[in-house]
Amino acid sequence: NDNAPVFTQDRYIGKVLENMPEGSVILTVLATDQDAGINGDISYQLSQAVGQSDSAFVIDPITGEIKLTKPLDFEAAQTHELSVRARDGGGLSAICKVLVEVVDVNDNAPEVVVSSFSSPLPENTVPGTVVALFSVRDRDSGANGKISCALQDQLFFSLRPAYKNYYELVTVSALDREETAQYILSVTAADAGSPPLTSTQTFTVDISDVNDNAPVFNQTSYTMYVRENNVPTAFVGAVSAADADVGLNAKVTYSLAAVAAAERPSCSCISVNAENGHVFVLRPLDYERLRQTEVTVSASDAGSPPLRANVSVRLVVLDENDNAPLVLYPGQESGPAPSELVPVSAEAGYLITKVVAVDADSGQNSWLSYHLLRATEPGLFTVGVQSGEVRLRRPVTDRDSVKQKLVVLVRDNGKPPLSATAALSALLLKDFSDVRLPHGSAATEDQGGSLTTYLIISLVFVSLLFLTSTALFVARRLCKRKELQAGHVLYGAEHLQPGLADAAAAGTLPRAYCYEISLTTGSGNSEFKFLKPILPSLPPQSCALGQGPEEGQDFPCVPVSTEDMASDNAGTLSAGQFN
């Protein structure tokens, strides 16, 4: 055994795909030995390389075939270096190197690594705003490691290369949350392998609301109706507006829009509930004064700044039968009804007059009908229901009164109906030459009736005046008598002066009678001389106040002046006045 084994090559190089299955033969090493017999028998042994504790290779000791014990990974190790020893039976050996190159296979999909991402995104974001920043990588090599990125929906967003393997996800057009509140974007990264491998990264972009939508009414205009004479705060309808925004930007409040003074409606009687848009009429309305009115209702959201919209609301007042017919002809003044002249030779159907009336209401409430309510001769006249024409029903006869009085009822078609009456008179004349006679007689009768009324009123007034005067006179006399009784003085009239004695003898002054005389203070001297009784010799009970002398008793008297009388009694009568 003097010859060592000799390899056919000093260095063996083998290539293997990284996806080769276990047991695959990579290569075969071969060594020869010139010796014979057992000294020429060669066996192969694989030596583990330094740093590789778990080898993926095995060698057949007889054939020298190197096989895989497990799959290789190009990304883990691109080459493997082995040492193969060939030993003969005599103990001599030789070593060769085996280099195994791992061929890359596209077995790794690209990876997407997100660095930053912004969500939610305001809907007023300007185009070109960066939404996300990410990078891509592939562990494969060569064409298998070349990556391309694509965005499925490029209508509102797009990808823009940043640097090296970084990409930016940016907006390319204006966003509208009311159209699309959320975008789901898929970014696909694909390598250039065969077949290519791909990976997908999903970005969910929420769009936040901005107050960019004003409220919108569900109608371009509103028409509401209310009956006249309505109760205060009557509900007549509602307006409604919606806002496409969300949150406070979509909270709608209602109000009456401010208008210029020149454009103000004729009726400020409409109110709108700020929360629900209900429309109310604050006070009763009159159809005859206000047929309709129009206001502007504003709907405003709670955004900043708030947005608003206006709508026109027209309120129509419906008529109710609250006005009675008004008779225009014949006039219904306080004076006597006008007389229409009718010849006695008139035939049936002769037009006497026409009652004209109007009604302030409208529609059926203003449709008027005419009816004969009463007449002196009801069978003599007829009234047109629709026209109000008063005509003769039959010819005039001698039994008919010359003066006919009629009352026509005018009634509307409302519910309930209202009515008015028209009074008129007709004079039945043989010819129109004696027109003045009936008119004069009628005037005389009217004047006579008025004169009688005035006379009765005057008589009552004079009677009341006479009774009042009589009562005042009696009351005054009674008051004077009470005053005189408080200041009277008794005087005897039996011993009078000679001048007065003759009057007494003639019967002018009663002899046995007491006279009461009262004088006012300061009345001065009088031309009369009154007698003042001297009573020292009389007993106390002989003469009392208000009593006359006893039967057969004489009073001694002396002359007394008016000054003395004034000092004794202060009365209310002037000097010389007798009661």
Residues 6+ apart with CB under 8 A from 143: 106, 191, 192, 193, 194
Helix, strand, or coil (residue 202): strand
CA distances from 288 to 254, 291, 421, 433 (A): 30, 7, 22, 48
Is the pLDDT at 547 greater than 60, yes or no? no
Show which of 377, 405, 429 is a domain's final residue: 429
Strand 198-208 and strand 121-122: the pairing is parallel
Report the pLDDT averaged over residues 398-406. 89
**In a shared domain, residues 176 and 81:** no
The residue type found at 492 is G
pLDDT digits (tens, 9 = 90+) for 470-490: 999 898 888 888 777 765 544
pLDDT digits (tens, 9 = 90+) for 173-189: 989 898 889 999 999 99
**In a shared domain, residues 45 and 65:** yes
Report the pLDDT averaged over residues 499-521. 45
Domains in the chain: how many in total?
4
Q: Is residue 67 part of a domain?
A: yes
64: left (phi over 0), alpha (psi -120 to 50) or beta: left
CATH of the domain at 332: 2.60.40.60
Q: Is residue 68 part of a domain?
A: yes
**In a shared domain, residues 92 and 116:** no
Tokens for 383, please give them.
């009234």
CB contact at 8 A, 67 and 80: no
Residue 487: the pLDDT is 54
**In a shared domain, residues 334 and 421:** yes
How much of the chain exceeds pLDDT 90, in percent?
37
Residue 55: the pLDDT is 77
Q: Is residue 491 part of a domain?
A: no
Q: Is residue 93 part of a domain?
A: yes
CB contact at 8 A, 292 and 317: yes
Tokens for 474, please give them.
């009696």
Of 338, 246, 228, nearest to 283 by C-alpha is 228
Residue 437: the pLDDT is 44
* C-alpha atoms less than 13 angstroms from C-alpha of 81 in its C-beta half-sphere: 7
Report the pLDDT averaged over residues 351-364. 91
Q: In which band, very low, low, confident or very high, does the pLDDT at 12 lie, cut at 50, 70 and 90?
A: very high
Is the pLDDT at 261 greater than 80, yes or no? no
Most confident among 4-8, 516-520, 546-550 (mean pLDDT): 4-8
Q: Is residue 453 part of a domain?
A: no
Beta-bridged to residue 279, according to DSSP, are: 237, 272
**In a shared domain, residues 229 and 200:** no
Residue 449: the pLDDT is 59
Element (H, E) at 315: strand 308-318
Residues 6+ apart with CB under 8 A from 115: 133, 134, 135, 166
**In a shared domain, residues 67 and 40:** yes
Show which of 103, 121, 144 is a domain's final residue: 103
Helix, strand, or coil (residue 501): helix
**In a shared domain, residues 185 and 230:** no
**In a shared domain, residues 37 and 80:** yes
Question: What's the chain's length in residues?
Answer: 579
Give me the domain span that covers residue 222. 216-318
Of 281, 269, 267, nearest to 237 by C-alpha is 281
Q: In which band, very low, low, confident or very high, does the pLDDT at 335 lie, cut at 50, 70 and 90?
A: low
Q: In which band, very low, low, confident or very high, does the pLDDT at 529 lie, cut at 50, 70 and 90?
A: very low
pLDDT digits (tens, 9 = 90+) for 70-103: 888 887 888 888 889 999 888 899 999 999 888 8
Q: Is residue 118 part of a domain?
A: yes
Q: Is residue 239 part of a domain?
A: yes
The residue type found at 437 is L
Q: How far apart are CA 562 and CA 567, in angstroms?
A: 9
Of 310, 302, 303, 281, nearest to 293 by C-alpha is 281
Strands, E assignment, 449-507:
490-492
Average pLDDT, the chain: 80
Q: How far apart are CA 249 and CA 302, in angstroms?
A: 5
**In a shared domain, residues 273 and 301:** yes
Show which of 429, 459, 492 is a domain's final residue: 429
**In a shared domain, residues 406 and 351:** yes
Report the pLDDT averaged over residues 104-130. 89
**In a shared domain, residues 311 and 331:** no
Q: Is residue 469 part of a domain?
A: no
Between residues 442 and 176, the one the model is more confident about: 176
Element (H, E) at 471: helix 436-486
Is the pLDDT at 549 greater than 70, yes or no? no
**In a shared domain, residues 267 and 295:** yes
To which residue do tokens 């309510």 refer? 373
Residue 18: the pLDDT is 82
Sheet holding 234-238, edge to edge: 234-238, 278-281, 270-272
Q: pTM for the whole thing?
A: 0.53
Residue-wise burial string across 216-254, b where 16 or more C-beta atoms lie within 10 A, e elsewhere? ebeeeebebebbbebeeeeebeebbbebbbeeebbbbbb
CB contact at 8 A, 140 and 106: yes
